[in-house]
Structure 1
Amino acid sequence: MTRENKGRLIWNHSTHLEGLIPILEKLVIFPGIRTIAPGVIGRAKSHCPHLKLRISVQILGGFKVIARQGKTVQEVFIVTDLSQQELELAIKEILD
C-alpha cells in the first residue's frame, strides 16, 4: 500500500491504553479509514482482562470506538468510509 492511501493516526493525548497504539497503527492501513484519533481515558467498574475494541456510536463521518483493558477505557474516533459491519470485521481481523 502506498503512503497516499494510508490514513493518519493523530497523537492528541500523551497517554494511551497499553497496546492500543500498535493496533491503531495496523487499523489505519485499512482502505477506507482516513483518520484515527484516540480520545479521553476513563475508568470502568468491571474488569476486562484483554484489550477489546467495541464500536459505540456512529458519528459524523465515522464511528466512536471504546477500547477497554483492565478497568481502563479510552474513546477512539475513527473517520472512515467503511460501514459499521466492515469496520467490525477490520477490528476483528487485527485483534485475532
Structure 2
Amino acid sequence: MSNPGGGRLVLNHSTNLPGLIPVLERLVKVSGVQTVTPGVIGRAKGHCPHLRLRVSVPIRGGYKAIARQGKTVQEVFIITNLSKKDLEEAIKSVKK
C-alpha cells in the first residue's frame, strides 16, 4: 500500500489483531513514520480487554512495538525518525 503523503503499511500476514490495521493505517499518515510492518502473532499469559499498542525496544531505523488484545500479542515494526516519546504521542493520537 503506497501513501504519497506519508509512510507505507506492509501487509505481509493474512491475520492481524482485530482493529489493528485501521490504527496502523492512521499511524503511517503521521509525519516522520516511513514504514509500519505487523509481525508475528503469539499468545500472552495476561488478558488485555482492549487493543493496546506500546513502543517496546529500539531497532535499526526505528522501534518495535507490541500490540495486545485479549490473550493475543503481535509485534509491529515501525521505521521512523521520530523519538520514542514522539512516537508514543503519535500512537496515542491515532488510537482515538
TM-score (norm 1): 0.95
Letter of the 1:62 partner, please give it.
Answer: G
State the identity as a percent.
64
TM-score (norm 2): 0.95
Letter of the 2:38 partner, please give it.
Answer: P
Gaps of 5+ in 1: none
| Correspondences of 1:47-86 after superposition (within 5 Å) | 47-86=47-86
Give 2:44's aligned residue. 44
Runs of 4+ in 1 over 3 A off after TM superposition: none
Letter of the 1:82 partner, please give it.
Answer: L
Gaps of 5+ in 2: none
What SS is found at the alignment partner of 1:87?
A: helix
What SS is found at the alignment partner of 2:13?
A: coil
Cα distance in 2 for partners of 1:31, 1:74 equals: 24
Cα distance in 2 for partners of 1:75, 1:8 equals: 17
Deviations 1:46-90 (A, max 9, x none): 000000001110000000000000000000000001000000000
Tell me how many residue pairs correspond in the alignment: 94
Cα distance in 2 for partners of 1:95, 1:32 equals: 17
